[in-house]
Amino acid sequence: MAFLSDALLRVKPSATIVMTQKARELKAAGRDVISLSVGEPDFDTPDNIKKAAMDAIARGDTKYTPVAGIPPLREAIAAKFKRENGLDYKPSQTIVGTGGKHILFNAFLATVNPGDEVIIPAPYWVSYPDMVAIAGGKPVFVETTMAHGFKLQAADLERAITPKTKWLMLNSPSNPSGAAYTHAEMKALTDVLLAHPHVWVLTDDIYEHLIYGDFVFVTPAQVEPRLMERTLTMNGVSKSYAMTGWRIGFAAGPDQLIKAMDMLQGQQTSGACSIAQWASVEALTGPQDFIAERRKIFEDRRNLVVSMLNQAKYLSCPAPEGAFYVYPSCADAMGRKTPDGRVIANDADFVGALLDAEGVAVVQGSAFGLGPNFRLSYATSTQALEDACSKIQRFCASLQ
């Protein structure tokens, strides 16, 4: 429609939201559907955090807040970065936004000029390319491989950098692959960045606490402090504290960038919800033990899903280090037919036929820029996962 902006023409709907909606509609129509397409913990927000929000309401902390966040939250964020990541940020170098998504969006809007390039390793979270495109920039995709655990290789990063590169977008643990970088793997990337002083790194650490086994989480500015001056470290309470609906995300970075994002946000959303900010103070400063308890549950589910998917014909599923997704390859199913004669030509066909045949909703890898794969979210009950994986096995066995 001519009335709509050019910027909007560069955007496509989020594939994960489309699939979640499709599953919801089928369910409403009476189909038995297991949706493994959503990206949020199935746990509830802990009670102490809910209580902090209710206390904020009772106290009357229900008014506008400073644009970049209430001082106790910015202090708690700076303390979190010190305690958990060894990063020395002043509270004034932090900013609170309406979800991690908002923070990322504003970081791009505040820095990207037409033609600027943002390197995005694939598979990637669906929103990165569209955010860059809305800001007028050019997403530059660098494909990873399953053999390398879906992790960006230093040589590939080196090759992708041009004089127009503004940011490297990193996400560890990753949505959709669950891949997380070890210290050595991250160091290989930060070494490349050190040699290219015009390139900044935006690191989306939102799944930081969802890591399994003895894996140790690292973030770029911690691995290479000399990059601190050109790193935006983004994080949030959505995934770690089961607070997706509260809409609080945050970041820390160099003064000038944080000031620019503060100014932009001042003309846009202003401060994030006051009540959710007070809840987030409690999340970051209150008891943390439930994180480990929930992590153990997620880890058991990951092991279950990886094992069951690897028993399915034509699938191959690596065990990721973190987040709550697996990203199996369905390459061996390509070209095969369903019992009703549909040819599976790509991963979108695979997930469409799986939904029709067995009522299991997952998201095609092509939506995340790398396939033929699919993303399965295991943030749901063990029973539902067992049922879903049995159905996936049955579906795969039916292909010829």
Ligand X SMILES: Cc1ncc(COP(=O)(O)O)c(C=O)c1O
Q: Which residues bind ligand X (CB under 6 A)?
A: 39, 99-101, 125, 171, 175, 204, 206, 236, 238, 244, 249
Residue closer to ligand X (CB basis): 43 or 398:
43
List the 231-236 sheet strands across, edge first.
94-97, 249-252, 231-236, 200-204, 165-171, 117-122, 138-143
The first and second tokens of residue 98, run together, are 């309406």
3-state secondary structure of 94: strand
Q: Which of 165, 238 has the CB closer to ligand X?
A: 238
Half-sphere exposure in the Cβ direction for 249 (13 Å, CA): 23
Minimal distance, residue 134 CB to ligand X, in Å: 16
Q: Which residue is nearest to ligand X (CB)?
A: 99
Taking the complex as a whole, the smallest distance from the CB of residue 65 to ligand X amounts, in Å, to: 18
Q: Give the nearer residue to ligand X in terms of CB position, either 204 or 282.
A: 204
- Tokens linked to 367: 């939506």
Q: How far is the CB of 176 from ligand X (least distance, A)?
A: 8
State how far the alpha carbon of 267 is from the alpha carbons of 69, 81, 230, 260, 261, in Å.
15, 27, 25, 11, 10
CB atoms within 10 A of CB 244: 18
Q: Which is nearer to ligand X, 202 or 344 (CB)?
A: 202
In sequence order, which residues have a C-beta less than 8 Å from that of residue 7 and are 6 or more positions away? Answer: 133, 134, 136
Contact 113, 101 (CB under 8 A): no
| Cα torsion angle, 122, 151, 332, 299, sign | negative
- Phi then psi for residue 71, to 5 deg, are -55, -40
Q: How far is the CB of 243 from ligand X (least distance, A)?
A: 8
Q: Least distance from C-beta 333 to ligand X, angstroms?
A: 26
**Shortest gap between Cβ of 269 and ligand X (angstroms)?**
13
- Based on its alpha-carbon atoms, the radius of gyration of the chain, rounded to whole angstroms, reads 21
Instruction: Give me the phi and psi of 152, to 5 degrees please.
Output: -65, 135
Tell me the β-bridge partners of 368: none
The least distance separating ligand X from the CB of residue 236, rounded to whole angstroms, comes to 4
CB nearer ligand X, residue 272 or residue 312: 272
Q: Which is nearer to ligand X, 189 or 272 (CB)?
A: 272
Is the CB of 97 or the CB of 372 nearer to ligand X?
A: 97
Nearest residue (CB) to ligand X, 204 versus 358: 204
139 or 359, CB closer to ligand X?
Answer: 139
**What is the spatial distance between Cα 135 and Cα 11, in angstroms, rounded to a whole number?**
11
Report whether 232 contacts 257 (CB < 8 A): yes
First to last CA, the chain: 43
Instruction: Output 95 or 333, the one with its CB closest to ligand X.
Output: 95
State the maximum Cα–Cα separation within the chain, in Å, rounded to a whole number: 64
Whole-number minimum distance, CB 46 to ligand X, in Å?
17
Region of 359 on the Ramachandran plot (φ > 0 left; ψ -120 to 50 alpha; else beta): left
Least separation in angstroms between residue 107's CB and ligand X is 12
Which residue matches tokens 């809007």?
A: 109
Q: How far is the CB of 279 from ligand X (least distance, A)?
A: 13
